[in-house]
Structure 1
Amino acid sequence: MALMTDLSEDAEVTRGDRFIKTAVAILGETGRTDFTVQEVVARSKTSLRAFYQHFSSKDELLLDLLDRTMLQSVQAWRAETTGLDSTSALKLVIDRVCRQPESTTQDSLNRALSLYNQHLAETRPREYARVLSPLHQLIRDVIGQGITEGIFNPGLDVGATAAIILQTVVNAQRLHWLGSELNGTPIDAGQLYDFASSALGIRDEPDQTAKPTLAELFAQIGMRPGTRDGEFAMTMPVSPHVVNTSGALQGGLIATLIDVAGGQYGLDFLTPGTTMTTADLFVRYLRPIRQGSAYAVPRMLRSGRRAMVMQIDIYGDGDDELAATATVNFAVINGETPKGVRAAT
C-alpha cells in the first residue's frame, strides 16, 4: 500500500518521532521488519530506557508508525476527493492505494509494511482493524455519496461493502509482489476499479428509467377488467407472485382488487368536472382463493353528488360462493373526470 511516511523536518521532533524516523530509514534500506530494538536505539543515538519509555516493544513502534502513516495518507486522499463525484473519488482512492513506489527506498518500505500488515492481521487483528479504520471510513463515505447520487446500488450494506473493497484492494497489492506469475500480468488499479464497479452496481449515468405507472404495475400482476355472468368485474389470476405463504391470493391484493373494481365501476356515475377517491373500505374475508382467478364484482348501493357507496363481492373461478365481501365509500370531489375502462369489456 502506497502510504505516506514523511515526518516533517520543520515540526518539533519528539524522541518518539525520532524512533519512528529511524524505523522508517531501516525499513527503506532493508525492506524487512526483523530489525532489533537495539538497532533502532543505536541509530537514533538514544538509550534503551528512552525507547521503552515510549514503546513497550518493536511491534508497538511499528504499529504507531502504521497508525500515523495511514492517518496521514487518508487525510491527503480525502482532501483530493473533495469536490469529485463518487466514481472519480473511488478511482482516485484505489489509484492512491495501488500507486507504485517512485524509488527503491519507497519500494523497500512498501514491501516491509505489506509484510507487517499480514503479521498484524494474523497476530493482532483488533489493532490492525484500528489501523485500517480511516481508510474504511473514507471508502464508506464514497459509497454513501454514490448511493445519494443514484450511481451505486441503493441496496448495498455500506459498511460491509466498504470492508470488502478495502480488503480486496489491500490484499491485491500484497500479492502484487508475485508479479505476473499468476495470470500473466500484475493486477493494476484499473482492474481493481472495474471489479469494485461490478460489486457496487455502478452505472455510467444515474438511473433515469421511467418508473412504471400504477396501471402498468397492475398489468404486471394480471389485474384487468372483465365480466362475470354478464356483469362488470375486475379480475386477477392466482400466480406464485401474488399468493401468501399458505398458497392463497394475498389479502392485501384482494383489497386492492376491490378498490380498483369500485373505482372503475364508479367512473360511469360521475358528472363532468368531478372525480372520486376512496374514503373508507371494509373487507370481510370468508375463504381463500388458491387457483384460477379472483373476480371483484361491484354493485352500487347509493350514488350521490358527494359520495358513492358500493358493495363489492369477490368470487373464485366458476364458483358462486363468496370468497370475500366489502363495503366501500368513495368521496366525490371536483377534478378532471377520468375515462372508465368498462367500455373495454
Structure 2
Amino acid sequence: MQYVLNMAQKTELPVTMPKEEPAWKQRAVERSTRAAKLRAEQRVVQFLDAAQAIIAEKGSLDLTVQEVVDRSRQSLRSFYQHFSGKHELLLALFENALSESAEEISEAAADEPDPLVQLRIAVRLLFEQSHSDQARQRRPLFTDFAPQLLISHPAEVKVAHAPLLAVITEMMTRAAASGQLRSDLRPRRAAAMVMQTAMFLSQSNGVAAGEHAHPITADEVWAFCLTGFNGSANNTANGSATSNGSATS
C-alpha cells in the first residue's frame, strides 16, 4: 500500500502558478487602450458636431446617416462602429443637451446657500435655456424627437433626464429639510414635476409666436412652481428667491 501511495505522488503533475504579464507589457497595453479610447471619443464628437450642424441648418431632424458621415469627413464603417443608426445618434445629442443643462444649472446655483433660491435659479435657467441660440439649434430634438421618444422608448427618456433630475432633486431635498417644501410632497416627485413644467412651457412658448401676444415669462413659471411645491408664494419665499435678482414681471 505504501508503495502505491509513493508511486501516485511521483506521477502527479506539478502544480504551477499562472505567470503574470510583465509590467512593461501591462503598461503598453494600457497605453494602447487609452489611445484607442481617445480616438474613439474624438470620432464620436465629430459625428455629433456634424449632426448638430445639419439640424441647425435645416431646422429639423430631416438628416441621413450619409449626410452626417460626409459632413464629419469620416467613413460609414466608422459611424456604425459607434452608433447603431440615426436613432442612437439623435439620442446621444438629446442626452448631451440635457447633461450640459444640468451642469450649467448646478454651477450657477453652487454658491447659493438657500435651497429655495437654488430652485429659482434652476427653474429660470431651465426655462431660459430653450431660448438661447444653441437651444434654438437643438429645438427639433425637444419638439420632434423627445415626444416620439417618450412614446416609443420611455426608458431611454428616463435615462437621458437623470442628470437634470438629480440636480433638482438635491435642491428639493434640501428645501424639504429646511421646511420650505409642502409636507405632503416627496422631493424627487416634486423635482420631476417642476422640471417637466419648466421644460414643457419653455419649449412650447415660442413655437407659434403670432399666437402669443404676451408670452409666458420665466418669473411666471417660477411663481407657478413655487406655489405648487411651497404651498403659497409667501413674502419670505419671494424675498429669498429674489435676493439674487429681480423677479418683477
Same fold? TM cut 0.5: yes
Matched, 1:115 2:116: no
Deviations 1:107-130 (A, max 9, x none): 232244432222211221110111
Amino acid at match of 2:63: F
**Comparing 151-160 with 185-194, which one deviates more in the overlay?**
151-160
Q: Report the counterpart of residue 102 of structure 2 in structure 1.
A: 74
Q: Superposed, which structure 2 residues align to 1:9-158 within 5 Å?
A: 14-84=42-112, 85-99=114-128, 100-103=130-133, 106-158=135-187
Structure 1 unaligned runs (5+)?
1-10, 207-345
Q: Name the counterpart of 1:162.
A: 191
Over 3 Å counting, the alpha-carbon distance change for 1:91 and 1:174 in structure 2 is same
CA–CA separation in structure 1 for the residues paired with 2:208 and 2:194: 20
Q: How does 1:165-244 map to 2 (within 5 A)?
A: 165-176=194-205, 177-179=207-209, 181=211, 184-200=213-229, 201=231, 203-205=234-236
The structure having more radius of gyration, on CA atoms, is 1
CA distance in 1, matches of 2:46, 2:199: 28
What displacement does 1:180 show? 5.8
Distance 1:34 1:62, change over 3 A: same
Q: Which has a greater percent of strand?
A: 1
Residue 236 of structure 2: SS of its match in structure 1? coil
User: Is the contact between residue 180 and residue 186 of structure 1 (CA under 8 Å) also seen in structure 2?
Assistant: no
In the TM superposition, 1:241-320 aligns within 5 A as none
Deviation at 1:40, TM superposition (A): 0.2
Distance (Å, rounded) in 1 between the aligned partners of 2:203 and 2:62? 18
Amino acid at match of 2:158: A
Residues 69/174 of structure 1: CA separation in 2 closer, same or farther (3 Å cut):
closer
User: Which structure exhibits the higher relative contact order, with contacts defined as CA atoms closer than 8 Å and separated by 6 or more residues?
Assistant: 2
Measured against aligned partners, the alpha-carbon deviations of 1:280-301 in whole angstroms (never above 9, x if no partner) come to xxxxxxxxxxxxxxxxxxxxxx
1:31–1:111 CA contact under 8 A, matched in 2: yes
Q: CA deviation at 1:31?
A: 1.6
What amino acid is aligned across from residue 135 of structure 1 in structure 2?
L
Gaps spanning 5+ residues in structure 2: where?
1-37, 238-249
Give the distance between the partners of 1:166 and 1:73, measured in 2 at CA.
Answer: 12
Residue 106 to residue 150, structure 1, CA distance change in 2 (3 Å) = closer
Whole-Å Cα distance in 2 between the matches of residues 17 and 150 of structure 1?
44
1:174 and 1:128 mapped to 2: Cα distance? 16
Secondary structure of the residue aligned to 1:186 is: coil
Letter in structure 2 aligned against 1:123: S
- Assess, with a 3 A threshold, how the Cα gap between structure 1 residues 159 and 32 changes in structure 2: closer, same or farther: same
Between 1:74-83 and 1:106-115, the stretch displaced more is: 106-115
Structure 1 or 2: larger helix share? 2
Q: Conserved in 1, the CA contact under 8 Å of 2:172 and 2:188?
A: no
Q: Which runs of 4+ in 1 moved over 4 A?
A: none
User: Could you tell me the TM-score, scaled by structure 1's length?
Assistant: 0.52
**RMSD over aligned Cα, in angstroms?**
2.2
Checking the alignment, whether the CA contact within 8 Å between 1:139 and 1:166 is kept in structure 2 is: yes
Percent same amino acid among aligned pairs?
A: 27
Tell me by how many angstroms 1:102 deviates. Answer: 4.2
SS at match of 2:172: helix
Equivalent residue pairs, number: 194
